[in-house]
Structure 1
Amino acid sequence: MNPEDVEYEPVSVKAVLAEMKDTAELLIDLSFSAVLNGSDDIAREVLELEERMDVLQLQGRMSLLMAARTPEDAEQLAPVLGVVSAAEKISNAAGDIAKVVIEDIGLPDAMRSALPEATEMLVRATVDDSSAYAGRSLAEINMETEMGVRVIAIRRRSATGKRRWITNPHHETTIEGGDILLLRGPQSGIQTVFEAVSGAPFELPETHDSPIEDLERAVDSIILMKDMSELAVDLAYGSVLFDSEDVAEEVSELEAEVDALKSRFEAWVLRAAERVEDPVQLRGLFHIASATEVISDAALEISEGVLRGIDAHPVVAAAVEESDEIIVRFRVGPDSSLANTTLGDRMVKTETGMRVIAVRRADGSEWVVQPGPTTALRPEDVLIAKGTRAGAERLGELLDDPQQFED
């Protein structure tokens, strides 16, 4: 894409920031999934989305420049420009990860076979015009409940040929013939849905024997990189939304952890290179490690203003609130059905669709980042969670805190 291809048009900065947030988060997910599944199709979708992000960042910059009429305006809007820049860096890093697959820079062929059995698949499917799903809403199809498969994004082409992305589609979203769906779920469900969507047989990716004894360790590290970079970005936007220095500090801690993980991962790659015939086949792993560090650094940039005590421009918080996948904060009510249970006891993610990304203990002594099924919830604990608006309402009801609160 050339900058000349994007003309100025009066767009809402809030809308651009919201779409940039959703796009950046989706890019991280897709790029790592392309690597782990060895999928050229998913990698190409990353590059399509990266082009969209290029357009968004130019629109955002132009709108901000048009809005800054005085030195005071410029001072207020400068941090917003920083958020735009950080999202662009995340996009570029995701594109670099995708190019490792497309350009065959160097990855072990056995990556897919080294994935843990419970890992979900992510595939791309084009909706056939004669598909039983065409013209129906996701609520009518109900594939997530029946087969455990969810549509994480849709790429649609209008009658004029213009491409449009629908990130985090909701239950009322209707599927149309010609749509490209990005599907995530277990292999059995993916196979059924893929064939119903496309009318073509589903072919499993090839598996290969690994020449590296502990390739599973590398795969586990890549999964951890993905999880940590996604979490850092989620918490960064959460720190801005809630103007929370504590949450911003967690982003800083995560950035340091990613740096340490990168160093350990690179050391493993160098040792593994001694045990393979052609060490060049591992070159792509260094690219992935470097791109992950860029993502975590960009997350820290998003929260940097909060760490420095600079008031975020209201448009950034408003954009986070209005994005497709929202971040909310709730307090565990003393009479809540979740008080004195664990996240797994009540199957919070299954019941509400919300992913709890952090828990702050009631006495303020501890943050639990990346909580799991065994994480206990105590009265007055604070939860930061991510998901849909409908899911947030259900979670608020379970926590006996129907209103997202403000400190």
Structure 2
Amino acid sequence: MRKKERVKYQPISAREILLEMKNLSELMIDLAYSAALFNDKDLAEDVIDLEERVDTLAYLLDMNIMIAARDAEDAKVLSGVAKVASAADKISDAAGDIAAIVLQDIGVHPIITEIFENVEERLARIRVPENSPVIGIKIGDLDLASMGVDIIAIRRNRDWIINPENEETIRDGDVLIVRGAHAGINEFKEKIGDKTVKVEEAVLEKIKGERWFRNVVERFVELKDTSELMIDLAYSALMLNSKEIAEEVAVLEEHIDKMHTEFELLVLSNKFSVSDVKGILGLIRLGIAAEKIADAAAEIAEVILRGIEPHPILKMTIKEAEETVVYVQVSANSPLVNKTLKETRIPEETGMWILAIRRNDKCIRPKSDTRIEAGDILIAAGYSEGREDLIKLASPTLEKLEYKEEYCE
């Protein structure tokens, strides 16, 4: 059993603590899925270390909130901060549960590789080849936002560098864990000179054409994508103080509950060999973790649904986070006008995903064939580096968009 760090009060601002909790918890999801996808115990261990860090931060934040509350009204507003911090802690716990699948030698069925070929935000492990043109270049100079990708970890020799800084230099033999849109990851592979050919496991070749295989893949892809969408929508609801978006999160949470049950029944009702038992158990636990993430997102949205005004700390935290929420109005001269969401290639160009569109008096959750109109307010989430790129696409002549309460009330 790991020894728990003793908690001692530190006079750190609640905003700093919450910002670190948000950044770490969201990073941990991708790191944990990467550990499961690539069956990497060292990376899984790092996820557990980060989970311990988030747990400690949760205690520190609680202490600071208790000291800050001067009266009942303060306590009410700060309760929203506490609830969001608690949800971030639960997201990190879910990531820890995924990492435990690897550390307990349960593993995940090879079907996971097919699952991650179909999710919205992909994960890739790329080795920097000898004589790569990016060797010696700093991460900040790679212009990752223009490709819609982000380097979340580097394996160098036997050590992992988690969430590397922009000043970190790429070296020969580095193994990069990259997240982003499919096209962007392919573009990045070309940039670094990676010519690795993927070899499919024999077990996948045998079962890939079977209906149950396709159903399991589709169900889990929806579970994962929806649970992570809910996090972004929940933070958007806080940022915009939008009951409408918060209600959408609550509806999705009910949908996830049903979907998770269907996923488990689907996995358990299919024939599998004795050798597959551990891998199937790993799949089921992945589903449980995805549902926990969805539940945490619903808790964040509940702050709005219970009529608690989002504290300014929450809005500042979301704005300053590594994965942030952006809202921008589409001008008449924008190249996005009259294009479908799919045609805009916004994730590939900016690393941002459109969560909702405010049009006239309604917030709509767009589909790939939804056309963007002049005057639309785009509500997007993604890597902070892509924020300015999205603003330039939507409003080429606008340097900065100020928040307006009427965007999504």
What interval of TM-score do these two structures reach, taking the shorter chain for normalisation? Answer: 0.7 to 0.9
For residue 264 of structure 1, report the CA deviation from its aligned partner: 1.0
> For each residue in 1:328-383, what CA deviation from the matched residue of structure 2 results, as whole angstroms up to 9, or x when unmatched?
1122234433222223333323333322122233341x6125x43x3311222221
For residue 385 of structure 1, report the CA deviation from its aligned partner: 0.9
> How far apart, CA to CA, are the structure 1 residues paired with 2:233 and 2:48?
25
For residue 77 of structure 1, report the CA deviation from its aligned partner: 1.6
Q: Determine the structure 1 residue equivalent to 2:125.
A: 123
Task: Say which SS state the counterpart of residue 398 (structure 1) adopts.
Answer: helix
Would the aligned equivalents of 1:115 and 1:216 in 2 still touch at CA under 8 Å? no
Equivalent AA in structure 1 for residue 124 of structure 2 = L
Tell me the TM-score normalised to structure 1 length. 0.80
Would the aligned equivalents of 1:155 and 1:180 in 2 still touch at CA under 8 Å? yes
> How far apart, CA to CA, are the structure 1 residues paired with 2:325 and 2:226?
17
Aligned length: 388
Tell me the TM-score normalised to structure 2 length. 0.80
> How far apart, CA to CA, are the structure 1 residues paired with 2:199 and 2:32?
17
Q: Determine the structure 1 residue equivalent to 2:357.
A: 359
Moved more, 252-261 or 28-37: 28-37
Task: Say which SS state the counterpart of residue 231 (structure 1) adopts.
Answer: helix
Would the aligned equivalents of 1:332 and 1:381 in 2 still touch at CA under 8 Å? yes
Q: Determine the structure 2 residue equivalent to 1:34.
A: 35
The correspondence of residues 153-302 of structure 1 with structure 2, limited to 5 A, is 153=153, 166=163, 172-175=166-169, 182-184=177-179, 186=185, 193=192, 207-210=201-204, 213=210, 214-272=212-270, 274-277=271-274, 280-281=277-278, 282-302=280-300
Q: Determine the structure 1 residue equivalent to 2:365.
A: 368
Would the aligned equivalents of 1:362 and 1:382 in 2 still touch at CA under 8 Å? no
> For each residue in 1:69-125, what CA deviation from the matched residue of structure 2 results, as whole angstroms up to 9, or x when unmatched?
444433332221111111111111111122122213353245326654898443387
Change in CA separation of 1:343 and 1:142 when aligned onto 2, cut-off 3 Å: same
Q: Determine the structure 1 residue equivalent to 2:81.
A: 80
For residue 4 of structure 1, report the CA deviation from its aligned partner: 4.2
Would the aligned equivalents of 1:37 and 1:111 in 2 still touch at CA under 8 Å? no
Change in CA separation of 1:43 and 1:126 when aligned onto 2, cut-off 3 Å: farther
Equivalent AA in structure 2 for residue 122 of structure 1 = A
Would the aligned equivalents of 2:125 and 2:175 in 1 still touch at CA under 8 Å? no
Equivalent AA in structure 1 for residue 151 of structure 2 = V
Would the aligned equivalents of 2:123 and 2:177 in 1 still touch at CA under 8 Å? no
Mapped pair 1:104 → 2:101: no
Q: Determine the structure 1 residue equivalent to 2:312.
A: 314
The correspondence of residues 40-55 of structure 1 with structure 2, limited to 5 A, is 40-55=41-56
Change in CA separation of 1:66 and 1:144 when aligned onto 2, cut-off 3 Å: closer
Would the aligned equivalents of 2:39 and 2:107 in 1 still touch at CA under 8 Å? no
> For each residue in 1:269-326, what CA deviation from the matched residue of structure 2 results, as whole angstroms up to 9, or x when unmatched?
1211x44345633222222222222111111111112112211222111111111222
For residue 44 of structure 1, report the CA deviation from its aligned partner: 3.1
Task: Say which SS state the counterpart of residue 5 (structure 1) adopts.
Answer: coil
> How far apart, CA to CA, are the structure 1 residues paired with 2:234 and 2:92?
16
> How far apart, CA to CA, are the structure 2 residues paired with 1:258 and 1:95?
20
Moved more, 56-65 or 229-238: 56-65
> How far apart, CA to CA, are the structure 1 residues paired with 2:342 and 2:168?
32
Q: Determine the structure 2 residue equivalent to 1:394.
A: 389
For residue 140 of structure 1, report the CA deviation from its aligned partner: 3.4
Would the aligned equivalents of 1:330 and 1:384 in 2 still touch at CA under 8 Å? yes
Change in CA separation of 1:396 and 1:319 when aligned onto 2, cut-off 3 Å: same
Task: Say which SS state the counterpart of residue 344 (structure 1) adopts.
Answer: helix
Task: Say which SS state the counterpart of residue 376 (structure 1) adopts.
Answer: coil
> How far apart, CA to CA, are the structure 2 residues paired with 1:57 and 1:127?
41
Equivalent AA in structure 1 for residue 177 of structure 2 = L
Equivalent AA in structure 1 for residue 355 of structure 2 = I
Would the aligned equivalents of 2:139 and 2:170 in 1 still touch at CA under 8 Å? no
Equivalent AA in structure 1 for residue 374 of structure 2 = P
Which structure carries more relative contact order (alpha carbon 8 Å, separation 6+)? 2
> How far apart, CA to CA, are the structure 2 residues paired with 1:94 and 1:296?
12
For residue 258 of structure 1, report the CA deviation from its aligned partner: 1.0
> How far apart, CA to CA, are the structure 1 residues paired with 2:267 and 2:79?
40
Change in CA separation of 1:150 and 1:335 when aligned onto 2, cut-off 3 Å: closer
